[in-house]
Amino acid sequence: MSASNARITCDIGGTFTDVVVSDERGRMTIAKALTQPANLFDGLRAALERAAAELAEPLGGLLGRTSLFIFSTTQATNAILEGTTARTAFLCTEGFPDILVRREGGSLRPYDYSRPFPEPYVPRRLTFEIAERIDADGNVARALDEAGAVAQLARARELGAEAVSVCLLWATANPAHELALGALIERELPGLPYSLSHQINPIVREYRRASGTAIDASLKPLMQRHLPEIAAGLIDEGFTGELLAASSAGGVVPMGELIDSPLWSVRSGPSLAPVAARTVATVETGSGDVIVCDTGGTSFDVSLVREGDLVFTSETWLGEPFAGHLTGLSSVDVRSIGAGGGSIAWVDPGGLLRVGPESARADPGPACYGLGGTRPTVTDAALVLGYIDPDRFLGGKMALDVGAAETALAGLAEALGIGSREAAHAVLAIANERMIAAIHELTVNEGVDPRDSTLVAGGGAAGLTIAAIARELGCREVLIPRAAGVLSAFGGQHSDIVREMTAPHVTNSKGFDFAGVRETLAGLRERMHAFEAELPQGLGGEVRRRYFVEARYAYQVWDLSIPLEGDGVEDEAALQRLIESFHDAHERIFAVREPGQKIELSQWKGRVSVETVKPPLAAERGELADGAGGTHGRVAFFPELGEVEIAVHLGGELAAGRSIAGPALLIEPETTIVVYPGWSAHVSELGNYRLELEDA
Amino acid sequence: MSTPPIAEQPTRGERFDPVALAVITSRIQGIVRRMSNTLFRTARSSVLNTARDFSCCVVTRDHELLAAAESLPIHVMSGPDLVSASLARLHPKLRAGDAYLHNSPYHGNSHAGDHCILVPIVGADGEHHFTAVVKAHMADIGNSQPTTLWASARDVYHEGAVIFPGVKVQQDYEDIPDIIEMCRTRIRVPEVWYADYIGMVGAARIGERELHGLGEELGWETLHEYTAAWFDYSEEMMAGAIRRMPAGRSVAHNKHDPLPAAGAEDGVPVKVIVTVDPGGARVAVDLRENPDCLPCGINLTEATSRTAAMIGVFNSLPIAVPQNAGSFRRLDIEIRENCVAGIPVHPASCSTATTGIADRVANATQRAIAELADGFGMAETGTLTASVADISGKDPRHGDAPFVNLMILGLTCGAGHSRGDGWLVSGEVGDGGLMMRDSTEVDELLYPIIVWADRIVADSGGPGRFRGAPACYVEYGPAGAEIEAMWSTDGYVHAALGARGGYPGAPARQFLRRADGNVEPLPGWGEQTLAPGETVLATSAAGAGYGPPWERELQRVVRDVADGWVSPEQAEQVYGVVVRDGELDAKASERRRAELAGTSVPVPELLDVEQRSREIADRLAPYVLAAEPAR
Amino acid sequence: MPERELDPTLMAVLAHRFEAIVREMTNTLFRTGRSSIINMARDFSCSIITAEDELFAAAEGLQVHVLGAGLQTRSMRELHPDLREGDAYLHNDPMLGNTHTADHTILVPVFVAGEHLFTASAKAHQADCGNAEPSTYVAYVEDVYAEGGLVFPCVKVQQDYEDIDDIIRMCRRRIRVPEVWYGDFLAAVGSARIGERRVKQVVERYGVETIKAFVKEWLDYSERVMDQAIRKLSAKRLHARGKHDPIPGLPEGVEVNVTIDVKSDEGKVVFDLRENPDCIPFGLNVSEYCARGGCTIALLNCLEEDVPRNAGSFRRIEVLLREGSIAGGLVEPYSASISTTNVLNRIINSAQSAFCQLGEGEGLAEGAGAMGVGYAVFSGTYPSESGGAGEPYVSEFVIGNNGGPASPHCDGWITYAMPDCSKTIYIDSVEMLERTYPLQFRSLRLLADSGGAGRLRGGPASEVIYGPRATPMRVFYMADYAIHPAAGVRGGLPGTAASANVIAADGAERQVEPIGDSLLAPGEWIRGIEAGGGGYGDPLQREPEAVLGDVLERWVTLEAAGAVYGVVLEPSGDASGFTLDLLATEQRRAELREARAAGGGA
């Protein structure tokens, strides 16, 4: 094994820690280990050791030849969902203490009076009002009462605050008071981590800014402990390369950036999935519109690549919309719904079959896990249908109890008055439906037509139903990357360093301020240069700077992000083209346009991406002799065919270029792919699977 | 008649076969008259079928007024041209069978209270050749208060009228139900409105049918040549008339009564600058030096601003001239945007644009001309009172069916002019004497009201060589059920002004007679709920006089005294005519007139109209009060 | 049960499809709306109705908005028998099944292969609807004419997918903010058109026959669920009374009477609203649409299951109305300007609290329903460059907070808004309002002790203070619940009452009529307090730990904890702030019970 230059990415999830090692030839080694929440590095080390073992070299050797280590974790997300973040104080403008309590109102269950109102991210007892006021024009309407603020900080200390978040009204228009409070915190509560809203996320709308700021502050103690731990651990083991971390902006940044504002690490792992999908789709189908489905054990994540670009949103809720908490950041749009293999199927009083939202989770897990679960889950249904090989689940790491699954499904079938195979199929169909809805919402909102898009599936449960989903969506083409089981970690392998800066400058289409905009964009450019300059040497590949503007029709309050051509709006002609592209975007997304209406432009954004040295996408399957394949068959059920004997192929045995006609099963260590009747699977040169719907 | 020679006529008027010119003119006059009769006979509300507050006319394809039936000048002189133009702008393709509902003050209409029906007259060739325009004052237009003339409306929203900017209401000769439904929902008396609407459409369709026949018979091009010739002829007539007028520039001021709500505590000053140029045969009226739009309903529309000035001029012409786009070419009416007497800016309300300021402008114009030289122009006309009111309520005689209507009683406002006394039965100047007063019997039949008196008030007419028409005293009240009355009276504070030494007419006065007999003054602008037993007493503002009273023919004064229009006291005091037991004392009169003519004698005090009205009221009291319980 | 049973899988699948469609419609309207009422408060709703006028699918929009959508499509079919593809209708006529004139509804008939199968509906509260006064809610108007707004009795506003300009122009002339109105109109049309497009796709994918079968099946299914839910209630005849506050001209206020016949054995509930006063010459009359929706809300609030909300489940609800009655019997020319809130909220509250008569664990307390200063319609003009009056603005605040009703299971919902919108409405952003309009907020906070005490506590009320910046601002508010607050049930106490005060430039405060309007000069402020929700059960039975939590979270003051809940707390030096003295608490509660008994005896 040549000591070639390696690149390692890891994704520390709630259950598993995934590691992907790739060398200059593009050879990938994938390893998994259980996550150790107490000390994240232990789990990471275990996974790294497995990878090293597979490569038949000592861990030190592997790390020693690793030039780039990219790290992503769901720790932040989990800490928030489990409420294990730091005890955080919230400082707000006097008179407005309930911003975090009321959020932005709304509820998904208008008639449900059995659920208590969700707790605020920071309890009222830790909320402190600061006498001050900035008005909408940035003028100081009421001077900051520093003495009062000091007293409040003292109270915060008494109450045991471990971090402080500050969000004052209109700090975005004039940060003076927030900065002053920052200084006071450093003086009065030395060493206590704090976050200022205008620095975390300078957007208008107090709740979103406050929520993101509170989350950011609450994560600092945790991340400021974990991240250095991991860095240290790696170095101890002999790592000397560059350490980058994934951010929810769909790229990576130097780890220091995340320590400064950990908010960006929230849902950073999932935001790498579309990066992976884009990479694979580009080489396999050349398609620019890609729908990405990442199916885990408990959740189903959808994201989108539109015309080669990741799609962003400012609506990322942690937990249920309205009841959870908004990050408020403009980050990669990953819609997550609780619809994994563990979702429980049940029949409601009206006799309708329902799947989820309740989940058997990992413990007791689906009935077939034999850990005491008795209620039928999506995984049980798949097993009963014969879509899962009980002996090869998770690469054979876990034997499944078919009998238990059968029993669980039988009850359901009885309630529905149909056969248990039919019932099992119904369970999958309905589970799919929630995913289809999620995909529809995302694609439709972006004006992407699923029928012209490529579907890329990842995650453990990826292959089970993706073809069925594709059929409903009208997609004729599905890609399942070789690294489907570790899509995010794989995405890390192919992501660039991405950093977004925003600068407010209000103007409009009727009286466009060319000079002002030129100045604003120049300012952004400088900040980007500064960021580039600080990057470690040797990383720097090609640098791309792109500019966007948040635009809306007069009186609207929700913006559309419109890319600028080149790096500015130089003349009337360019302005007209910009305006046209806004009208087009508005019509594409919302079905109507209003020609002639004034367009307001407020926030200007610069997104700099510095290309990193990426491993080539090469395959090493070529030399493998075409294994007989389909050696052992098994019985599976498809509504159109009934119970049939189908071929089962071990992925590892299939040579590039091989095609398999459905119905059949393809077994990969991390996932099982069901090739439905009417579909066929092709093994690409790069070892990815392409499923195609045969013209029937 | 459509012989080749005519078809080949060049368009210069003098060469258009004069016989054809006369014949076609009378045919077209006949058409607009038939339009009027149709509406007059079919309309449901008394404001149309009795008071005749509507007008019918024909406009050319170039939006020029061609012919109007004897209609309210304030409706037609300018307005039909503007609405026709706006219609073409809003609906580029006009088709046969279309009809449009138009009442938008911002698109050329007189005021929201007048609904216009426009029917494009389209030839077999599919071309739009003329437009038949019918405009009528509706009983109700869905204002937020039950009135169609609301001086206190802050803006068009507060006014509340549904505004139809040339909205298609018929297609292929069929109603568009949506629009009809909208009116039915938002107009207080949907049945009455629809009946009047049908009447208007009928009138317009009559005009369409007959003009279409004429066009197809003579050939449309011939008709267009005719209009050109007719306009040229009318312009010549106008030029001729102006050449006989005195040259000069004359400025006249007057004042609209105070509107505290709109911040006009001491009234709204009106200024008119008239320039007569006999040489160039042109008359210019400049209204641009008037105040900006006010936050109330008295702003004029473009149509009524122009028309008011034109009326003043036409009233002052030495000879009769046809009123159409041809004669108008000789007039230069100068107005500006955002002006009470100009072009209103949305959302300024123009609820009373056909009266109030319009009357002031027309009056000032004709008085300005009068001041140029004796023998020209006119004094100022009086104005309406609470005897012209929007009355509404529920009629117990018809199962409490709601009613609302503009009641028009006591129209005696005529101004003295260069050649005669004020026309007695004349409404405000804007109606050119064409508005008819309601029949008391018809009103009492249609609405649960009783009219107790409608009589001349002696001495109220503005004294002058030619006397203004005297005011009239009207008293009315509900019969058996509560009614709501709303009125907008100008002329309460600022009376009609005399010309060339003529005296002003008596100002308006109005009172509420309580059931207990108390008589309390009522404001100039008001709304009043009248319980059975209560009555409104209204004395209208009289017309003003022209020329010094002591120059009035002795016999005219003697007759006035004999007829009780002028008291012997006023005859002696003001006219310098001494009448004893009906006999003229020539000698005494001689002396008195000499005194008066000499500047040494101060102008004798005028009639105290308030006092006089109360006297009448007291005389009426016994039987008004006695009778009420009996009803 | 129909013979031809639809594959249950497909049924669930299609149900999800239609849900997704209305969600998409909703998102479109929310993102593209121009007035803050739509793009911040989300005071609108989208739904899909069958060609037989059955409400089929609705998003979590404003509840009173969607529940009666079928009434409007019926008037569309009756008035326009010649419906065609490409048509769109503007409907805001409360006499023809709309909520109130301020809600402009866009109806788009959806055709497949020439057959009218569904109607997509987008209903949104407008910033201005051309009323005589600059407010979309007017109380002191004797009739619809005085109200003054434009009424569109289901008027065709698009043909062949093109605007009918006549109608657009009429609105532009008579609506104070034409640009905003047209933008919101476009947003609603866009939303309905997206619904149209998606529904067609689904129908084309599965075929007309399947969809028809599905519609029938789904409605039947929904009816079954409702049937089951109602059968769980105990059969009883319930009587409830509510009272809207007195207002000038109505010294007695408005009493509402609701009789509810719970026919558990038939799986049916009958609401009788006929015993109510005749229409009144004020804007408070309730339209049929709202009255029916209100009863439905009350019932759904009191059911355990999450019942699908469509014409199928509504078959099990009967609402008896009387023509000419203030409660759903609207007749011309009376005004229903405030039909969606005030009297309606009294109906909902009395009905939902009446269910408590079914026993412990049933029903709800009353939710607060003040349409006060926190929900006011505000208007004025922007300062112009010249300093004088510039462009006009008018919109409605949705910034206040009425406390939700305590339920048998938990404390009152905080961002409840009011009974008719059942928690779904959003809240404005102070910063967005200050950015969009020339006004400023001084404070916005939730008030301690404002939620009605009880074993379960009512939600808190808000206090808001705001005023104009440079140009005068006119504010219309319509706060009920200032005299008769939201009542508690089963021993629970009422929430606090609403109020409104104007603060002069010199700081002097004067109370103003809770239903009225004020013209605020720059330097003046208005201070509005909404109402608190009613409590459920005896405060003395509230978990002492819960009371401790309330005190720490400042929902309840230390004083109230002792005096009302009988919970004794001792200051603790440490961060927690207080500790619970359980013994003292027991004692205190015993004393309070005695005192109560004595008081009762006296």
Q: What is the pLDDT of residues B430-477, one digit of tens each?
A: 555 555 667 788 788 888 999 888 888 889 999 999 999 998 899 999
**CB–CB of C153 and B346 under 8 A?**
no
**CB–CB of B145 and C152 under 8 A?**
no
**CB–CB of B162 and C174 under 8 A?**
yes
Give the pLDDT band of residue C146 (cuts 50, 70, 90). very high
Kindly tell me the sign of the dihedral angle through the C-alpha atoms of C596, C597, C600, C602.
negative
Give the pLDDT band of residue B37 (cuts 50, 70, 90). confident
Contacts of C375 (CB under 8 A, 6+ apart): C396, C397, C398, C399, C400, C418, C477, C478, C530
Chain C contact set for B106 (CB, 8 A): 173
Instruction: Assess contact for C41 and C374: CB atoms under 8 A.
Output: no
Q: What is the pLDDT of residues A515-566, one digit of tens each?
A: 999 999 999 999 999 988 888 776 767 899 999 999 999 888 888 889 999 8
Q: What is the pLDDT of residue B433?
A: 52
Q: What is the pLDDT of residue C266?
A: 96
* pLDDT greater than 90 at residue C384: no
Q: Is A640 on the interface with C (CB under 8 A)?
A: no
Distance CA B305, CA B294 (A): 15
* pLDDT greater than 80 at residue B630: no
Q: What is the pLDDT of residues B200-234, one digit of tens each?
A: 999 999 999 999 999 999 999 999 999 999 999 99
Average pLDDT value for chain C: 93
Q: Provide the number of CB pairs (under 8 Å) joining chain B to chain C.
A: 83
- Smallest CA-to-CA distance from C105 within C121, C120, C118, C83 is with C121
Q: What is the pLDDT of residue B4?
A: 36
Burial (CB < 10 A; 0-12, 13-18, 19+), residue A634, is: middle
Give the pLDDT band of residue A624 (cuts 50, 70, 90). very low
Distance CA B533, CA B522 (A): 17
Q: What is the pLDDT of residue B253?
A: 96
Q: Is A140 on the interface with C (CB under 8 A)?
A: no
Instruction: Assess contact for B113 and B138: CB atoms under 8 A.
Output: yes
- The alpha carbon of residue B215 is apart from the nearest alpha carbon of chain C, in Å, by 30
Contacts of B362 (CB under 8 A, 6+ apart): B308, B309, B311, B312, B315, B381, B429, B430
Lowest mean pLDDT among A203-212, A687-696, B601-610, C592-601: B601-610
Q: What is the pLDDT of residue A354?
A: 84
Cα angle, residue C310 at apex, residues C307 and C313 outer, rounded to 5°: 55
Chain C contact set for A554 (CB, 8 A): 34, 179, 183
Lowest mean pLDDT among A57-66, A316-325, B190-199: A316-325
* pLDDT greater than 50 at residue B1: no
Q: Which of A110, A426, A445 sits opposite C63 (nearest CB)?
A: A110
Q: What is the pLDDT of residue B11?
A: 44
Q: What is the pLDDT of residue C145?
A: 94
Q: Is C293 on the interface with A (CB under 8 A)?
A: no
Give the pLDDT band of residue C602 (cuts 50, 70, 90). very low
Lowest mean pLDDT among A334-343, A546-555, C530-539: A334-343
Give the pLDDT band of residue A445 (cuts 50, 70, 90). low
Q: What is the pLDDT of residues A154-199, one digit of tens each?
A: 999 999 999 999 999 999 999 999 999 999 999 999 999 999 999 9
Instruction: Assess contact for A32 and A20: CB atoms under 8 A.
Output: no
Burial (CB < 10 A; 0-12, 13-18, 19+), residue A618, is: middle
Q: What is the pLDDT of residues B397-435, one digit of tens each?
A: 888 888 888 888 877 788 899 888 988 766 566 555 555
Q: What is the pLDDT of residue C66?
A: 75
**CB–CB of C225 and A350 under 8 A?**
yes
Q: What is the pLDDT of residue C409?
A: 94
* pLDDT greater than 70 at residue A145: yes
Q: Report phi then psi at B163, rounded to 5.
A: -100, 125
- Name the E strands within C130-206: 155-159, 162-163
Chain A contact set for C42 (CB, 8 A): 106
Distance CA A496, CA A564 (A): 21
Which one is predicted more confidently, A29 or C446?
A: C446
A116 CA to centre of own chain:
29
Q: What is the pLDDT of residues A465-478, one digit of tens each?
A: 899 899 888 888 89
Q: Report phi then psi at A677, rounded to 5.
A: -55, 140
Instruction: Assess contact for A429 and C9: CB atoms under 8 A.
Output: yes
* Percent of residues, chain A, with pLDDT higher than 70: 95
- The alpha carbon of residue C386 is apart from the nearest alpha carbon of chain A, in Å, by 18
Q: Name subunits touching A (3+ CB pairs < 8 A).
A: C
Q: Which of C39, C441, C459 sits opposite A557 (nearest CB)?
A: C39
Average pLDDT value for chain A: 88
What pTM did the predictor assign? 0.86
Average pLDDT value for chain B: 88
Q: What is the pLDDT of residue B7?
A: 36
Give the pLDDT band of residue B602 (cuts 50, 70, 90). low
Q: What is the pLDDT of residue A620?
A: 54
Q: What is the pLDDT of residues B309-360, one digit of tens each?
A: 999 999 898 888 889 999 999 999 999 999 999 999 999 999 999 988 999 9
* pLDDT greater than 50 at residue A307: yes
* pLDDT greater than 70 at residue C4: no
Q: Which of B106, B185, B186 sits opposite C173 (nearest CB)?
A: B106
What tokens appear for B527 in the block? 């709304």
* Percent of residues, chain A, with pLDDT higher than 90: 45
Q: What is the pLDDT of residue B10?
A: 42
Q: What is the pLDDT of residue B23?
A: 85
Give the pLDDT band of residue A362 (cuts 50, 70, 90). low
Contacts of C136 (CB under 8 A, 6+ apart): C102, C125, C126, C127, C128, C129, C149, C337, C377, C396
Instruction: Assess contact for B48 and B38: CB atoms under 8 A.
Output: no
Which of residues 171 through 210 in chain A touch C, CB cutoff 8 A? 204-207
**CB–CB of A104 and C427 under 8 A?**
yes
Q: Is C93 on the interface with B (CB under 8 A)?
A: yes
Give the pLDDT band of residue C258 (cuts 50, 70, 90). very high
Q: Is B145 on the interface with C (CB under 8 A)?
A: yes
Q: What is the pLDDT of residue B42?
A: 82
Lowest mean pLDDT among B29-33, B274-278, C304-308: C304-308
**CB–CB of C432 and A557 under 8 A?**
yes
Chain A contact set for C400 (CB, 8 A): none
ipTM of model: 0.82
Which one is predicted more confidently, B456 or B120?
A: B120
Q: What is the pLDDT of residues C197-212, one digit of tens each?
A: 999 999 998 999 999 9
Q: What is the pLDDT of residues B173-210, one digit of tens each?
A: 999 999 999 999 999 989 889 989 999 999 999 999 99
**CB–CB of C132 and B90 under 8 A?**
no
* Mean pLDDT (whole number) for A648-671: 84
What tokens appear for C517 in the block? 């309007």
* Percent of residues, chain B, with pLDDT higher than 70: 93
* pLDDT greater than 80 at residue C440: yes
Which helix (DSSP H) or strand (DSSP E) does residue C107 occupy?
strand C103-112
Which one is predicted more confidently, C454 or B596?
A: C454
Q: What is the pLDDT of residue A3?
A: 55
End-to-end, the C-alpha distance of chain A in Å comes to 48
**CB–CB of C183 and A425 under 8 A?**
no
**CB–CB of B157 and C165 under 8 A?**
no
* pLDDT greater than 70 at residue A5: yes
Q: Which of B146, B163, B179 sits opposite C174 (nearest CB)?
A: B163
Chain C residue closest in CA terms to A428:
C9
Q: What is the pLDDT of residue A361?
A: 72
Q: What is the pLDDT of residue B2?
A: 37
- The alpha carbon of residue C133 is apart from the nearest alpha carbon of chain B, in Å, by 6
C562: three-class secondary structure by DSSP: helix
Chain C residue closest in CA terms to A474:
C205
* pLDDT greater than 80 at residue C482: yes
Distance CA C305, CA A351 (A): 13
Q: What is the pLDDT of residues B504-555, one digit of tens each?
A: 999 988 899 998 889 999 887 778 899 998 999 999 889 999 999 999 999 9
**CB–CB of B160 and C145 under 8 A?**
yes
Instruction: Give the strand pairing for A642-650 and A664-667.
Output: parallel
Lowest mean pLDDT among B255-259, B367-371, B444-448, C534-538: B444-448
Distance CA A219, CA A266 (A): 9
- The alpha carbon of residue C126 is apart from the nearest alpha carbon of chain B, in Å, by 15
Chain A contact set for C426 (CB, 8 A): 104-106
Q: What is the pLDDT of residue C1?
A: 36
Q: What is the pLDDT of residues A580-599, one digit of tens each?
A: 999 998 887 777 888 888 99
Q: Which of C153, C174, C333 sits opposite B181 (nearest CB)?
A: C153
